[in-house]
Structure 1
Amino acid sequence: MNTNTTTIPNRKYFGFLSGSFLKVFAIVIMFIDHFAAGFIYPAIVSGDMGRWLLDFDIQASPLEIYDHFYLILRGIGRFAFPIFCYLLVEGYLHTRSKKRYAITLSIFGFISEIPFDIALIARKNYDTLNLIEIYQNSDKDLWEYQNVYFTLALGVLGMWAADTILKKLREHNIVLAYAASILPFAIAALAAYYMKTDYSHYGICVIAILYYFHNIRPIATLLAYLFMAFTMSTALTGGMEEWSFPAFILMNLYNGQRGFIKKNFKYFFYIFYPAHLILIFFLRYFILTRG
């Protein structure tokens, strides 16, 4: 487990993948996943996908598109979230300002909520660009999910509070310290559940696992994968998280270096999330409703 939570331990990295590579890989995979969810799925349901493909002399039934295209892309998309969680923990351990880290994530959560809603939640109402009309037709659905930035922000708050508890109690009773440090994560998980954030309380648990065992990376990644595979990939949840295994292999190949992307470009990754959702929203409208 983590034996030094306020400073970065002298961890050894044996991988060859930089943080920059993992970030770029994760956002590309996220785009693929969201394109499938926000473009392909509603097009299949409405029948517009079949009509659009006919323009290219491609004949495929909705079931064929769903089974052989949509599900595969969504499965590949499962790689993204675990990597974001891993990078979140690494970023938290290296940041100079935990407060600014949590605030930045929260701000982009609010910025991203409308793009998230119109691209992924109100995805069936794509025959208009009128946001008022979209929200009027989808008001109940829009309360069912909030975007992943809120999950990540809650994860940072959980780590920050756990750090504080460990720092104060570790010297007195290490068992009590770790037991007490779980409470902030439990509160964060409850908040994610009731806020209905993307990945909900499951996401907070993944962050907690990667945080507590970050000094033993193979154990951290194995436990996080098993948790996702056995709690989120059930008949009840309908998840496909067993597909995420390659992401955990990549985490173990991380070399601990920032990589080719300079610090000045860090906000590109924050902005990419709402930007790519807006792009999907417009692509869906202009491609599937044309002519």
Structure 2
Amino acid sequence: MVIDHVGYVFLRETDWAMLCYGLGRLSFPLFAWLLVQGEAHTQNFRRYALRLLGMAILSQPIYQLTFGIALFEDFNILFTLLLGLLCLRAARQWPRWAVLIWLVGAIAAELANFNYDAYGIALIALIGNYKPTLLWWTVWCIFTALTAVVMSGNLQFLAGFAALIFACANHERGPKARWFYWFYPAHIGLIGLAAFGLNRPAG
């Protein structure tokens, strides 16, 4: 993610931009994977969701200033992750309605201009239902192939390779990292300050 954002702000007009963007495609599915693990193992879902909401709200003005985004034009990925978190918990509690829950979540992400839109919610749904089976990997590969076709030209299909990383995880509860989501607004803020210092235009 840092590489992606650094490339977007500082290297857009260089040959390194696409490399940074390609590497950055791995970040959202890994964030989604951590979200899924957090939802599965948290002892206080309400506190977890509120913390994520707080980080999303805090990050939004920093996100807009750094990337030159107008009000309500685009909401940062923490809002997408929050919506995905709510869908994860709802689908777990009402499995009979899981497909409808995820569909409503995807539509909401599109209408609300959340970063990654319906694609992000679909990705969280797939990762949330991860199983080391041939069926899951087949669906994942089809999803990645469709992404390559529908989003041709933006390298988003490279996110498919992230599955090779979280497939190696032990799926057990890891150490608490309450500071983790602070990383998102912090790194964007630092990039914004550096861009301002170097007189780089936003957006």
Max radius of gyration: which structure? 1
Q: Distance in 2 between matches of 1:87 and 1:223?
A: 21
**Equivalent residues of 2:144, 2:160 under 8 A apart:** no
Alignment of 1:1-291 (within 5 A): 30-41=1-12, 44=13, 65=14, 68-120=15-67, 122=68, 141-166=70-95, 177=96, 180-212=97-129, 214-216=130-132, 219-220=135-136, 223-224=139-140, 226-231=142-147, 233-234=148-149, 238-257=153-172, 262-263=175-176, 266-288=177-199
Report Cα offsets for 1:60-96 as digits up to 9, x if no partner. Answer: xxxxx2xx30011100111111111112112111111
Partner amino acid, structure 2, of 1:150? F
The Cα shift of 1:100 comes to: 2.0
1:240/1:211 CA distance change after superposition, 3 Å: same
Partner amino acid, structure 2, of 1:160? R
1:219/1:82 CA distance change after superposition, 3 Å: farther
The Cα shift of 1:195 comes to: 1.0
TM-score, normalised relative to structure 2: 0.87
Report Cα offsets for 1:201-239 as digits up to 9, x if no partner. Answer: 111111111223x233665455345424423x3466643
C-alpha RMSD of the superposition? 2.2
**Equivalent residues of 1:222, 1:248 under 8 A apart:** no
Q: Distance in 2 between matches of 1:208 and 1:110?
A: 23
1:219/1:274 CA distance change after superposition, 3 Å: farther
List gaps (5 residues or longer) in structure 1: 1-29, 45-64, 123-137, 167-176
Question: Aligned residue pairs: how many?
Answer: 200
**Equivalent residues of 2:102, 2:121 under 8 A apart:** yes
Percent identity among equivalent residues?
31
Q: Equivalent residue for 1:126?
A: none
Q: Distance in 2 between matches of 1:219 and 1:201?
A: 22
TM-score, normalised relative to structure 1: 0.63
**Equivalent residues of 1:106, 1:150 under 8 A apart:** yes
Question: Partner of 2:16: helix, strand, or coil?
Answer: helix
Question: Partner of 2:94: helix, strand, or coil?
Answer: helix
Partner amino acid, structure 2, of 1:99? R
